[in-house]
A = this chain, B = another copy of it.
Amino acid sequence: MNRIINNPDLVVEDAVRGYLKAHKDLVAPTDNPRVIRHHLAPQKGKVGVVTGGGSGHEPAFLGYVGDGMIDAVAIGEIFSSPSAKAFHDAFVAADGGRGVACLYGNYAGDNMNVKLAVKQAAAHGLTIKTVVANDDVPSAPKSEPQKRRGVAGEILMWKVGGARAAEGAELDEVIASAQKAIDSTRSIGVGLSACTIPAYGKPNFSIEDGMMEVGIGHHGEPGVKVMETRPAREMADLMLDHVLPDLPFESGDDLAVLVSGLGATPVMELYILYDRLSEVFAERGMKVRHPFIGNYFTSLEMMGVTLTIMRLDSELDRLVGAPARSVGLTKVAL
């Protein structure tokens, strides 16, 4: 595995330092090296928006700190939750006196550390409320939503929560909008190859050539089925067959659709997939109002793709479409 790294045990430190140097117009360091804040945070009178997660998913999570998005991010080791201390310090970095919305993904480590951090912050007089993303359909049955992982749907949750906070909403309103965002969102991933954490030096799971893992997680968590690869059109149909009936999405729905490569999949293949997805949406009477195609939430150099679909009401439509500026996602007012 040929890599552009120095010490394999310090890839996060090195990358974060480079990130801070590259994006001074967006972000700034804090006293905690595992917390990055918006360069203007905390913004007095604005509800703070925080997220956090493991590294190796870039541009997630730190790439979504920006205008109309995230105010501070807690950064973990590769594929590992940030510490409770990092979440706590991110809350402090984001708190402008009107409370903080912590919008994160459903993983055991993150749940535990966020809980601890919220308790600690409360002891210091901060008000933190949380929304836990659980958009990944294959990770558990619909009857057990608390067992479902958060995946790329988090991006749309951050977009909605960040836009609502930027509008000047109260903490409870930001939380309500972010909760509605993730409740209206479903995702599925398909893995085509594994990836290697630099400090391990070899993949910690495997996908045979010619095979694909349907429902794979962002860290190689097992999916629901390993099967032979098939043409992109059939992959698209298979993904939709899992995702559409779950909410369920229905004729007449307005959608935001996010197709993210997992790292090594060529961008042109994401468009090949989208060509079919788009056809099916049209056939079923659904309208894609906000398409996002690119590498939004990766897993190092994994090959594969995730599909995320959000059903829009007028509020979500407005918030997803609101102006934003970050490394991972920029929306320009038209």
Min C-beta distance of A64 to chain B, whole Å: 13
Within 8 A of B (CB), among A266-303: 266-276, 278, 291, 293-295, 298, 300-301, 303
- Measured CA separation A149–B217 after assembly (Å): 40
Q: Mark A308-329, 1 if CB is under 8 A from B, else 0.
A: 0000000000000000010100
Within 8 A of B (CB), among A226-276: 229, 231-233, 235, 263-276
Q: Which residue of B lies closest to A275 (CB)?
A: B18
The complex is assembled from copies of this chain, and their number is 2
Count of A interface residues, CB-CB < 8 Å: 65
A301 touches B266 (CB 8 A): yes
On chain B, the residues within 8 Å of A5 by CB distance are 231-232, 269, 272
- Measured CA separation A334–B303 after assembly (Å): 36
B232 touches A266 (CB 8 A): no
**Stretch from A54-62, A92-100, A163-171 forming part of the interface with B:** A54-62
Checking B16, B17, B209, B295 against A2 with a beta-carbon cut-off of 8 angstroms, the contacting residue is B209
Q: Does any Cβ of B come within 8 Å of A14's Cβ?
A: yes
Q: Does any Cβ of B come within 8 Å of A185's Cβ?
A: no
A58 touches B266 (CB 8 A): yes
Min C-beta distance of A286 to chain B, whole Å: 13
**Stretch from A21-29, A113-121, A122-130, A174-182 forming part of the interface with B:** A21-29
- Measured CA separation A269–B301 after assembly (Å): 11
Q: Does any Cβ of B come within 8 Å of A108's Cβ?
A: no
A15 touches B269 (CB 8 A): yes
Known contacts A4-B192, A209-B2; A271/B22 CB under 8 A: yes
On chain B, the residues within 8 Å of A267 by CB distance are 58-59, 63, 295, 298
Q: Closest 6 interchain pairs by CB?
A: A18-B275, A18-B271, A264-B264, A2-B192, A58-B267, A4-B269
